[in-house]
Every structure is written in C-alpha cells, then in structure tokens.
Amino acid sequence: MLWNFQSLVQDWRSKREVAMRILSILSGASVLFTTLAYGHLVHHFFVNSPREEFHNPLFWAANLAALAAGVFSFVGGFLLLKRSR
C-alpha cells in the first residue's frame, strides 16, 4: 500500500514538472514576442519624432529608459526559455 502511494506521488511530481516546463517555454516565447513588438514601437517612436525633440534631454532619457526596459524584458524571456531545459 505504501509503495503504491509513493508511486502516485512520484507520478504527480513528474506531471507537474512537465506542466511547469511547458508553461515556462510558452511564457518565455510570449515575453520574447512582446519584447519584439515593444522594440518595434520604440523604434517608430524614435524615428517618427520631430527633429526638434532631439535637442530635448527628456526625450533622450525616455528613450534610454525604454531601451533599458526592452533589454531587461529580453533577458527575462531568454532566462524563462533557458530555465525550461
């Protein structure tokens, strides 16, 4: 009886690990695609901005903050994918 219970617990753990691995892969892929869309939006914001804005330090600070957020998002998505192996 005890052996059967331990087998059930071990089977449940393995199913849970597989489910968490799948969830981690899907989450990592979705974060990377979201980061790609975010980078696309930041690029268009930068390229389509008026030329007078390039002399504004607040414009550069906002773009650097957006770049930092994009880099952190990309690293987070990559780590989610790497951890799933």
| pLDDT score of 35 more than 70 | yes
- What average pLDDT does range 46-50 have in this prediction? 91
Measured in Å, how far apart are the chain's first and last C-alpha atoms?
34
Phi, psi of 48 (to 5 degrees): -90, 10
- What average pLDDT does range 59-69 have in this prediction? 94
**CA–CA dist 48, 59 (Å, integer):** 13
| pLDDT score of 14 more than 70 | yes
Average per-residue pLDDT in the chain? Answer: 86
Give the confidence band of 10 by pLDDT, cuts at 50, 70, 90.
low
pTM listed for this prediction: 0.73
Phi, psi of 10 (to 5 degrees): -65, -40
Can you give the pLDDT at residue 29? 92
Can you give the pLDDT at residue 70? 94
